[in-house]
Amino acid sequence: MSDLQETMMDAVLAEAMRHDFGSFTEADAARAIAADALQPADFAALLSPAAEGLLEQMAQRATERTVQHFGNTVCLFTPLYIANYCVNACTYCGFNCKNQIHRAKLTMEEIEREYEAIAETGLRDILLLTGESRVHSDVAYIGEAVALAKQYFATIGIEVYPLEVEEYAFLHEMGADFVSVYQETYDRKRYAEVHPSGPKRDFRYRFEAQERALLGGMRGVGVGALLGLGDCRRDALAAGLHAAALQRAYPHAEVSFSVPRLRPYVNHAERDAGGVGERQLLQIMLAYRLFLPYAGITISTRERAGFRDHVVGMCATRISAGVKTSVGGHEEEEKGDAQFEISDPRSVDEVLDMLAARGLQPVFRDYIRV
């Protein structure tokens, strides 16, 4: 196990706990909106209850920042789950090893048929996902899937269990560009509560995954908290500080955000968003854009179509389309149960029509391999 001997985690968590959201005023939030460069206290002010009445001003400023750094472009991608075996007992996830679901793992032949079906839609950006099981989805298997994806896609992201530096280097050599790892919650006490067993209980090892990925040569990394699992304001603050720390330490890297909320899943249809409504989600996204104006922000199909339509171009720069959260399902029949329920089932063409109607330019390929 690699030991980074870094203090990034301790510094991020200490800074996240230093700010009292109740201490900020609307004037503090207004000053943060107008600032050219935000300090952590400004970011915290934008996440505070005091900023809730300034969402329109935040949205206007965020739109200016998004256009400044990204123009009117929006990147399109789709996720592909190639396995759903997992050894963790995360209390919020459909892949929980104790949840009685249909488990499956695609063969390379099945994966290629999925790739072919996805590529036929025009998409050239894919995110490969597995459950967290080294036995069923070992690094060699993931690497083979990545190498095969190079024949069809220009950008390949992975969302798998945390790896060692040399393992990330191997997957980068195979063709992977990006690594997404969600800390789920930055509250260590809450983290222990929702991860009762499995290797995912190791908070620090997960926190340092993005650094190991960048040391392994990856072009970019994604961070995020599962909003609603803990205090959403505190988790959003910590995720933003984590992203900023990564950007300072690795200025060549592309650091981005995802903003997932809790969703219902198999055998747990009662699961809600943990009290995080769309206004809170929007406030968090706008605060991310103003704090790190050059960072990408992904809006997933966890959210309803109307919400997704309004945040692209304003603060979100990346949107998924034609999504399945089951194992397979694009060309092959669904082989295994889904991780969670989606709210926006639109096809790639339907999302393209929406972007055109909003005057936005879809981007299928933003990187050329040489």
Q: Is residue 368 part of a domain?
A: no
pLDDT for residue 332: 60
pLDDT of residue 348: 95
Question: Does 109 reside within a domain?
Answer: yes
Q: What CATH number corresponds to the domain at position 78?
A: 3.20.20.70
| Partners of residue 336 on adjacent β-strands | 327
Beta-carbon contacts of 82 under 8 Å, excluding residues fewer than 6 positions away, are 105, 106, 111, 114, 128, 129, 130, 137, 145, 327
Does 245 fall in a domain? yes
Domain hosting residue 160, numbered range = 8-363
Residue 357, Cβ density class (10 Å: 0-12 exposed, 13-18 middle, ≥19 buried): exposed
The pLDDT assigned to 338 comes to: 54
Phi and psi at 126, nearest 5°, equal: -135, 145
- Structural domain includes residue 260: yes
pLDDT exceeds 90 at position 269? no
In a domain, 238, yes or no: yes
Residue 325's pLDDT is: 75
Identify residue 64 by its one-letter amino acid code: E
Instruction: Indicate the average pLDDT of the chain.
Output: 92
Long-range contacts of 352-360 (CB under 8 A, 24+ apart): 352/76, 352/321, 354/305, 354/309, 355/74, 355/312, 358/309, 358/312, 358/313, 359/72, 359/313, 360/72, 360/73, 360/74, 360/312, 360/313
pLDDT in tens, 173-217: 999 999 999 999 999 999 999 999 999 999 999 999 999 999 999
Exposure string over 14-25, b if 16+ CB within 10 A, otherwise e = ebbeebebeebe
Tell the burial category of 40 from Cβ atoms under 10 Å away from its Cβ (0-12, 13-18, 19+).
middle
Q: How far apart are CA 132 and CA 144, in angstroms?
A: 17
At 358, the pLDDT band (50, 70, 90 cuts) reads: very high
Per-residue confidence band for 1, with pLDDT thresholds at 50, 70 and 90: very low
pLDDT at 334: 64
> Would you state the structure tokens that stand for residue 346, as one six-digit string?
């639109």
In tens, the pLDDT along 78-116 reads 999 999 999 999 998 888 888 888 889 999 999 999 999
206-256 pLDDT tens trace: 999 999 999 999 999 999 999 999 999 999 999 999 999 999 999 999 999
Report if residue 50 sits inside a domain: yes
Residue 92, in any domain of the structure: yes
Higher pLDDT, residue 173 or 264: 173
pLDDT in tens, 271-301: 566 689 999 999 999 999 999 999 999 999 9
- Specify if 214 maps to a domain: yes
Number of domains in the chain: 1
